[in-house]
Structure 1
Amino acid sequence: MTSMLNNFWRDAVRPLIKRPPALQVAALCHREGDAGTEVMLVSSSSGRWILPKGWPIDGLTACEAAKQEAWEEGGVKKAAANNASAQSFLGQKRFDNGSVIPCEVKVFSFKVKKLSDNYPESERRDRIWATPARAAELVDDPGLKALIGNFAA
C-alpha cells in the first residue's frame, strides 16, 4: 500500500503542485574582434562571469528587456537584435542571501555596435570580451556553457 501511495504522489500529485521555473531574460552580446567573434561577459554580484540578465520588465518584450539588461549591466548602448536566434536554457538564480531558484533563461543575441564606459552598473560590474570557447570556460552554469560554446558554430 505504501508503495502505491508513493507512486501516486510521485506520478500524479507532485507534478500538479510543482512550481514551474521562473523566467529570466539574457543578452548574448557579440562583436567581431581582431581574433574573430567575441562574446561579452559581465561579473555577477558574487564575482562569477555571466551574461547580462534579469527579470522580464512590464511594458517591454522579452527581447527589449534583455537589451535593457545589456545596457544596465554591460554598457551596450547600441545593438542589433536577432529575435530569430532566441534560445533557452535551464539554470539557477542565485540570490545574495544564498537561496537558489530554478529559472528558464531566454537568451537573445545582440550584435554590439556601440559601447559606453559610463552605464548604470559600471561601478559594481566588470565587463570582458572573450572568444566563445573562452567565455564558455569562464561561466559556471552548464546550460550557459553549452549555449555559449555552440554560439560560434
Structure 2
Amino acid sequence: MGPAWGRERRRQCAALPIRERDGVLHVLLITTRGRGRWVIPKGWAEAGVAPHALAAREAFEEAGLLGRTAEQPIGAYSYRKRLPDGRRAVCQVEVFTLEVEARATDWPERGQRRKRWLPPLEAAALVSEPGLAELLLGLCREAA
C-alpha cells in the first residue's frame, strides 16, 4: 500500500446484514454517499463502545436495519480511504454479522444511499474491496 497511504491503520467496525429467503442466504449492500460504490455499513471505532455494538449502530444509521449482531467478527479486510482533509489512510475493518430482524421506517441516512439484498456471490462481484469480496465468498463456501 506504500508510504503515501500513511503509517497508521485506522480501525473501523462494519455490519454484514444477513437474512434468509426461501432457503437462500442474502446480504445487504449499501452505496457510499460520495461515489456510489457498493459497501457494507461501517464506521470509525470509538473508545468505550463495543465493536459489535458500533457495527449494529452503523447498520441502523446507514440502512435502517435492526437485529442481532454477533459479538465475534467473521473476519476483517483493509482498504484505502481518502479522508475529508485530503490525507490518505489505510483502514482495517472488522466485520460482524447482523441477523436482520426488522427495518425502521425512518433512520439518519435515509434517502442518502441505495440498498440491495443479494446472494453473497453476487454481492462479492459488486464490491471493489478484494478483502470484503473474499469475506462474502467465504459465506458462499459455508452455505455449500
Instruction: Give your verdict on TM over 0.5.
Output: yes
Shift of 1:104: 0.7
Q: 1:72 to 1:148 in 2, by over 3 A?
A: same
Per the alignment, residue 42 of structure 2 pairs with 53
1:23 to 11, 15, 24: 11
Q: 2:98 aligns with which of 99, 110, 131?
A: 110
Q: Supply the distance in 2 between the matched residues of 1:23 and 1:57 (Cα, whole angstroms).
A: 9
Deviations 1:95-145 (A, max 9, x none): 467654111100001111111242110121111100000000010011111
Question: 1:94 Cα shift?
Answer: 3.8
% identity of equivalent residues: 33
Show structure 1 runs of 5+ residues with no match: 1-13
Deviations 1:1-48 (A, max 9, x none): xxxxxxxxxxxxx9xxx7331101100110002361000011102100
TM-score normalized with structure 1 length: 0.80
Q: Is 134-143 or 97-106 further displaced after alignment? A: 97-106
1-structure distance, mates of 2:69, 2:95: 11
User: 1:70 is matched with which residue?
Assistant: 59
Superposed counterparts of 1:1-153, under 5 Å: 19-34=7-22, 36-45=24-33, 46-77=35-66, 79-95=67-83, 100-153=88-141
Larger radius of gyration: 1
Cα pair distance change 1:95/1:44, threshold 3 Å: farther
Amino acid at match of 1:63: H
Instruction: Name the CA distance, whole Å, in 1 between partners of 2:48 and 2:75.
Output: 21
- Normalized per residue, which structure has more helix? 1
1:5 maps to what in 2?
none
Cα distance, 1:81 vs structure 2: 1.8
Structure 2 residue runs without a partner (length 5+): none
The alignment yields a C-alpha RMSD, in angstroms, of 2.0
Contact 2:52 2:72 in 1 (8 A): no
Q: TM (normalized to structure 2)?
A: 0.85
Aligned AA (2:43): G
Q: Which runs of 4+ in 1 moved over 3 A?
A: 94-100
- Seen in structure 2, the aligned counterparts of structure 1 residues 55 and 136 have a Cα distance that, compared at 3 Å, is same
CA distance in 2, matches of 1:62, 1:85: 9
User: How many positions carry a matched residue from both structures?
Assistant: 136
Measure the CA separation in 1 of the matches of 2:51 and 2:95.
Answer: 9
